[in-house]
Structure 1
Amino acid sequence: MARTWTRLHDFLGHPPGPVTYDMVAEAVQRKLGESDDLDWKEALPAASPVPGQWNEFAKDVAAMANTRGGLLVYGVSDDITMAGIDLAKVNDKQLGQWLRVHLQPTVSGVSYLPLPATDGSGKDVLVVDVPASEMAPHFLYGWQQKDKDKTTFNAPFRHRDDTDYMPEHQIALAYRDRFARQAAAEAALEQHLRHTTDLVLGESEAPAAWLVIAARPTRPIPRMVPALSRPEAQHVVSSGAKRADALLASAIPMPRLLGPQLFPYLLGNNPRKGLRRWVDTNMLVPARATRQRGVLVELHHDGTVVTAVDLSHRT
């Protein structure tokens, strides 16, 4: 999914939103220089004529992902003038294949935004939006000719307006950061599970059996992204309920324990605001108390989802 806040937004003073052709054209007209998160490219990426050859597109994507993410804009020359490209020649499936073949690990979440010219010039552009990767460092491998043919395996990164390669100590730091993020994510999940389990068991009559599930995106939603509105939270809950019911109907051809009767007990899908989350439940709030199966759903602003269902009744 393309980001809604980029170097172009910052430079032009635009509010968060999709990147548009007019934004690219204005940045070019105002001669916005390259940086660690913006790289102007005149021509579309060229295919590697020989399997295993160094792939410049994969290198550029890895460099952005290994740094802090950024934009590769094709159709703008090195002297920052609009050159344009032929959008009919853009093959995002092939570009994605190059990333899978040439990078280890591959970079996920890359967005390809073809932007036809809106000023009548016919100079279309392609914006490749590369997010900062939680799986950095990403290594590019292949053979290239420098002095002599040799096979290389390097981790590129952006340094100001240039692409360089990580020395050993920087690679070690990148791995340490990755493992620290993974440990923090696991700790956050454990905390959600422990907190929710203690909460629902404290509200239950002993003995009780609860199913508690916590899920968290590999790349948490940034804090700058606006929180879900109430209608959006309601849509997520209702869509999830319909999807779950459809999956259960196809997988279990018999009366289901957690069938379509589950979510109506959320009392009309009316989530309430919590601390950086939406909470929908038929317990905890006296006015919504029920003797039916207890359900708790939390939609956290960072993308974490927690669901708890009381399995003690009618089992």
Structure 2
Amino acid sequence: MNFTPLHRALGLPPCPLTDEILSDAVTSGVTETDDLDWKSELPPIKGLSQTDVPKDIAAMANSGGGMIVYGVEEHGKAATGRSDAGEFTEGHERAYRSVAVTAISPPVFGLEVHRLGTECRAVAVVIPASVDGPHLIYKNDFFGAPIRNDADTAWMKERQIEAMYRARFNERRRATEAVDSLFAEAAEGRDTVERAWLIAVAHPRVPGALTRLTRDEAREVFNDARTITLSFSKNTGIHPLDNVEYLNPRPGLRRWVAPNAATGDRSIWKESWVSVHHDGSVSLATAVGGHRMSSDGYWEGWQVEGRGVECAVADFMALIRAAARSLHLDEYDVRVGVEWSGEQPLSILTVDGSGFPYDGVSTPLRAFTSARSTVTASASDADFHRQTRELAEDCVNQGGITYLHVIEPLPEDEN
């Protein structure tokens, strides 16, 4: 669902943006604001970086996000009619997105492009709110930070730029604290003296509104994640999402919890808990030490199979992507760690040429350093696959393991 400046101006609830909504906004004479800009025609694809497009995008990003609509005539800042903006080709869209990344610093990611109408075509570009301001644009040897001033675009003064940098640094500190708080909460009460636990948490950099997910919506997120994880990982090893009650999530504090389904003496070794929060945060806790190594034998609690770590990271990343799709989010701050407080050093096991666990190359770990990253949940399938592999490699490399065995190689790595 979308909630744009057009929805707000027309008093509409969140719903898909349609050509009818745009026509109603034009008929009502909706005026430009600090988050809505009318344009009568599309900018030329040639020399796009030299047009006002970078300035317009940066100004919206610096002002909390907004929307630029191409294909609307205006007079006195009020919409007066529709005009055919022309065809917005895939090449045009690629160039437009490229400008947002290459002509603005820091880049602006996560643009939403809506093609509206067939006979009288329009294009609506939604620029997300950003915590990376001020976004600067450069022309020759000069730079500036544009900002929306009601319906106009102005340039920030020095004090405004200073204040925005201060806000960025404060936001980064707050985001780190939020992730660490989620991590501590997810790790609380785990029997880390007996077996190692992988704890993974993610918090959206720009959290969504606290619109309480329904049980059905939460079920869809968990089920979607189970499909996503198999798009870039093998159905081997112990996947945490296979060991939780994903079809019957339970309410928690501003979240839905998929509780552990691996109960009983013969299954508790693969205990897992997964949550999706109403603000888009996700958390995963799964036992990775002491897994079963044969029909009647188990590894020690300090022995962790690398394949188990990979499965957990794959499921965790899939959960991020599914939650982001459901709640229309983009970038996430993530932290993945292995908690172990026993006496023996932690050991991550790889597999030998026959596929059996092997500890001959493991590096004993007195402490596992949490892997931290920023994940772009809305990235293309290939880019998201790459992010997943990199996060998994950060985890297993600490134990002396080089190769992944569950998460599929990227297409270009197969040759």
Sort the Cα spacing of 1:155 and 1:88 in 2 relative to 1 into closer, same or farther, 3 A: same
Aligned to 2:17: 19
From 158, 165, 179, the equivalent of 1:175 is 165
From 180, 183, 195, the equivalent of 1:208 is 195
Q: For the Cα contact (< 8 Å) 2:73–2:82, is it kept in 1?
A: yes
Sort the Cα spacing of 1:171 and 1:281 in 2 relative to 1 into closer, same or farther, 3 A: same
- Write the distance in 1 (CA, Å) between the matches of 2:221 and 2:54: 35
Q: Following TM superposition, by how much is the alpha carbon of 1:38 offset from its aligned partner in structure 2, in angstroms?
A: 0.9
Q: For the Cα contact (< 8 Å) 1:48–1:55, is it kept in 2?
A: no
Q: Following TM superposition, by how much is the alpha carbon of 1:232 offset from its aligned partner in structure 2, in angstroms?
A: 2.8
Sort the Cα spacing of 1:111 and 1:244 in 2 relative to 1 into closer, same or farther, 3 A: closer
- Write the distance in 2 (CA, Å) between the matches of 1:29 and 1:233: 38
From 233, 238, 244, the equivalent of 1:266 is 244
Is 1:78 the counterpart of 2:74? The answer is yes
Is 1:156 the counterpart of 2:149? The answer is no
Aligned to 2:218: 233
Q: CA RMSD in A?
A: 2.4
Q: For the Cα contact (< 8 Å) 2:85–2:123, is it kept in 1?
A: no
Q: For residue 78 of structure 1, give the secondary structure of its aligned residue in structure 2.
A: strand
Q: C-alpha deviations, 1:115-161, integer Å up to 9, x for none?
A: 115xxxx3221111111112111111124xxxxxxx43111000011
Is 1:305 the counterpart of 2:282? The answer is yes
Range with bigger deviation, 289-298 or 152-161: 289-298
Q: Following TM superposition, by how much is the alpha carbon of 1:109 offset from its aligned partner in structure 2, in angstroms?
A: 1.2
Q: For the Cα contact (< 8 Å) 1:40–1:76, is it kept in 2?
A: yes
Sort the Cα spacing of 1:4 and 1:92 in 2 relative to 1 into closer, same or farther, 3 A: same
From 127, 131, 135, the equivalent of 1:134 is 131
Sort the Cα spacing of 1:265 and 1:43 in 2 relative to 1 into closer, same or farther, 3 A: closer
Q: Following TM superposition, by how much is the alpha carbon of 1:190 offset from its aligned partner in structure 2, in angstroms?
A: 0.7
Q: C-alpha deviations, 1:219-244, integer Å up to 9, x for none?
A: 22223xx3332233223323434544
Is 1:275 the counterpart of 2:265? The answer is no
Sort the Cα spacing of 1:165 and 1:200 in 2 relative to 1 into closer, same or farther, 3 A: same
Question: Which amino acid counterpart does residue 124 of structure 1 have in structure 2?
Answer: R
Range with bigger deviation, 300-309 or 23-32: 23-32
Q: For the Cα contact (< 8 Å) 1:54–1:141, is it kept in 2?
A: no
Q: For the Cα contact (< 8 Å) 2:41–2:85, is it kept in 1?
A: no
Question: Which amino acid counterpart does residue 275 of structure 1 have in structure 2?
Answer: L
Q: For the Cα contact (< 8 Å) 2:38–2:73, is it kept in 1?
A: yes
Q: For the Cα contact (< 8 Å) 2:275–2:283, is it kept in 1?
A: yes
- Write the distance in 2 (CA, Å) between the matches of 1:86 and 1:13: 26
Q: For residue 137 of structure 2, give the secondary structure of its aligned residue in structure 1.
A: strand
Equivalence map 1:106-117=2 (5 Å)? 106-116=107-117
Sort the Cα spacing of 1:78 and 1:263 in 2 relative to 1 into closer, same or farther, 3 A: closer
Sort the Cα spacing of 1:168 and 1:268 in 2 relative to 1 into closer, same or farther, 3 A: closer
Q: For residue 16 of structure 1, give the secondary structure of its aligned residue in structure 2.
A: coil
Question: Which amino acid counterpart does residue 101 of structure 1 have in structure 2?
Answer: T
Sort the Cα spacing of 1:268 and 1:81 in 2 relative to 1 into closer, same or farther, 3 A: closer
Q: C-alpha deviations, 1:276-301, integer Å up to 9, x for none?
A: 10111228xxxx85332221111111
Q: For the Cα contact (< 8 Å) 1:55–1:102, is it kept in 2?
A: no
Sort the Cα spacing of 1:10 and 1:207 in 2 relative to 1 into closer, same or farther, 3 A: same
Q: For the Cα contact (< 8 Å) 2:68–2:126, is it kept in 1?
A: yes
Aligned to 1:123: 120
Question: Which amino acid counterpart does residue 9 of structure 1 have in structure 2?
Answer: H
Range with bigger deviation, 272-281 or 77-86: 77-86
Q: TM-score, normalised by structure 2?
A: 0.63
Unpaired runs of at least 5, structure 2: 293-298, 300-415
Q: For the Cα contact (< 8 Å) 1:48–1:54, is it kept in 2?
A: no
Q: How many residues align?
A: 284
Range with bigger deviation, 134-143 or 62-71: 134-143
Q: For residue 175 of structure 1, give the secondary structure of its aligned residue in structure 2.
A: helix
- Write the distance in 2 (CA, Å) between the matches of 1:268 and 1:54: 50
Q: For residue 306 of structure 1, give the secondary structure of its aligned residue in structure 2.
A: strand
Aligned to 2:327: none
Aligned to 2:271: 294
Q: C-alpha deviations, 1:169-191, integer Å up to 9, x for none?
A: 11111111111111111111111
Q: TM-score, normalised by structure 1?
A: 0.82
